[in-house]
Structure 1
Amino acid sequence: MADIRNDASAPAPAARRPIVMAVWLVIAGVIGWWAAFQLTIEKFAALEHPGTKAACDFSVLVQCTANLDSWQGRAFGFPNPIIGLACWIAPIVVGMAILAGARFAKWFWFLFWCGFVFAFGFIIWLMTQSIYAPNLHTLCPWCMTTWAVVIPSFYVVTLHLFRIGVFPVGEKGRHIADRLMAWVPLATFVSYVIILLLAQFELNAIVNILQTIGNSFR
């Protein structure tokens, strides 16, 4: 599976092992998998004890139950968290393999990126459903955790594919992608702000979340 010729033979940015990216992939994978695991546990509990309140139900706005019980929560005919349980293993394995010295073929990176394209598109759809769908109008804590790690992971993996030449942009384009890596935190922050503003305009989310936090300390 690993190919020792690809990244090692490429110029400048691609020749370096992407240690920071590898560490992030492991962290993101663990966080994403744990969020999926918690949602799966909540789903099992709801099936075993119908009508009970989920542990992540903090208010009418911030809750898991509405999302898990909705048709959007089983978009492919089974609970969405199962997708997370299966798929978040991939970035953990890839990240650990990079740290161990593995270098992957370009076709492998492309397939890995395709997984994040799907994840990114899927969470965008889930965000719009959570915020705008009449049967939801909720913000699921564990769902938001998943959104939070998918967004920067998609940016990082996309830029990495540019800088190692999977996408044919030339050496100059590869170096630009390498420099843009430093801007991923800012791009991620801007993405979070956009999501928060959308939720605020539609759901008055900021006030409701602050009230929820305040009530939890009483």
Structure 2
Amino acid sequence: MSEQRTRPTVYAVWLIIAGVVGWFAAFQLTIDKFIQLEDPQAALSCNVSVMIQCGKNLDSWQGEIFGFPNPIIGLTLWTAPVVVGIAILAGARFPRWFWAGFGAGVTFAFGFVCWLIWQSLYAPNLGVLCPWCMLTWAVTIPTFIATMVHLTRNGTFTSNEKAKVRANSLMAWVPLATILAFALVILLVQLRGLDLLSEVIGLIF
């Protein structure tokens, strides 16, 4: 179903929610980074335990892969979904090139998050879960899935009307796809936990 015929209200509302949540997580990480820079030994609010903390992530090279703290990327880019969502609700109609660019940005965010998830679980210098990072993962994954479906139904990816109609019906399945994606992440966490347990047992015995 073409965007020109139906305003994607639910998708727009989700973009606003995801943008606000993602920005809030990035903001909290930025504050924690400032605290860490002032006092490397400071007890950060996100440091719940040895396995669940953000201090280790913020202090790692993965935490500033582009030469500056990753949260700054979130503070900048999470405003885009909010603006797009509000614009859609206000009746804006964006050209195909705009949606292509927006889709590229969301795809980059998704790929970056997947890399960060892998690094958090399997990088030798990390092996921890960051609470605010996980909140970012929680909104990035469904935003990516919903955006790919939306870009198919609004004609950005294809001009085939049947494909658009099918994509429109697939939007109802985005929550299930998101749950399955979360289940995969949880499975990876569990498997990594078993690996670490095996390593500890090996060291003891």
Same fold (TM over 0.5): yes
Conservation of the 8 A alpha-carbon contact between 1:130 and 1:136: yes
Shift of residue 38, structure 1, vs aligned partner: 0.1
Shift of residue 204, structure 1, vs aligned partner: 4.7
State the partner residue of 2:60. Answer: 70
State the partner residue of 1:131. Answer: 121
TM-score for both structures, normalised by structure 2 = 0.92
State the partner residue of 2:172. Answer: 182
Taking the aligned partners of 1:109 and 1:134, their CA distance within structure 2 comes to 38
Taking the aligned partners of 1:168 and 1:198, their CA distance within structure 2 comes to 34
State the partner residue of 2:28. Answer: 38
Conservation of the 8 A alpha-carbon contact between 2:22 and 2:139: yes
Taking the aligned partners of 2:180 and 2:88, their CA distance within structure 1 comes to 29
Taking the aligned partners of 1:99 and 1:79, their CA distance within structure 2 comes to 33
Conservation of the 8 A alpha-carbon contact between 2:103 and 2:148: yes
What SS does structure 1 have at the residue aligned with 2:117? helix
Shift of residue 117, structure 1, vs aligned partner: 0.6
For residue 148 of structure 1, what is the amino acid of its counterpart? Answer: A
CA RMSD of aligned residues (A): 1.4
Q: 2:103 aligns with which of 113, 118, 143?
A: 113
Shift of residue 13, structure 1, vs aligned partner: 4.2
Conservation of the 8 A alpha-carbon contact between 1:57 and 1:65: yes
Matched, 1:157 2:170: no
Matched, 1:122 2:112: yes
What SS does structure 2 have at the residue aligned with 1:135? coil
Conservation of the 8 A alpha-carbon contact between 1:163 and 1:175: yes
State the partner residue of 1:197. Answer: 187
Taking the aligned partners of 1:204 and 1:61, their CA distance within structure 2 comes to 13
Deviations 1:170-198 (A, max 9, x none): 11111111010000000000000100010
Taking the aligned partners of 1:52 and 1:153, their CA distance within structure 2 comes to 34
* Percentage of identical aligned residues: 58
Taking the aligned partners of 1:96 and 1:146, their CA distance within structure 2 comes to 20
TM-score for both structures, normalised by structure 1 = 0.87
Taking the aligned partners of 2:118 and 2:12, their CA distance within structure 1 comes to 30
State the partner residue of 2:92. Answer: 102
Shift of residue 50, structure 1, vs aligned partner: 2.1
Conservation of the 8 A alpha-carbon contact between 1:137 and 1:203: no
Conservation of the 8 A alpha-carbon contact between 1:13 and 1:163: yes
Taking the aligned partners of 1:105 and 1:203, their CA distance within structure 2 comes to 46
Return 5+ residue gaps in structure 2 as ranges. Answer: 196-205
Shift of residue 167, structure 1, vs aligned partner: 1.0
Give the total of aligned pairs: 195
Q: 2:40 aligns with which of 22, 47, 50?
A: 50
Once the two structures are overlaid, the 10-residue window that deviates more, 165-174 or 188-197, is 165-174
Shift of residue 203, structure 1, vs aligned partner: 1.9
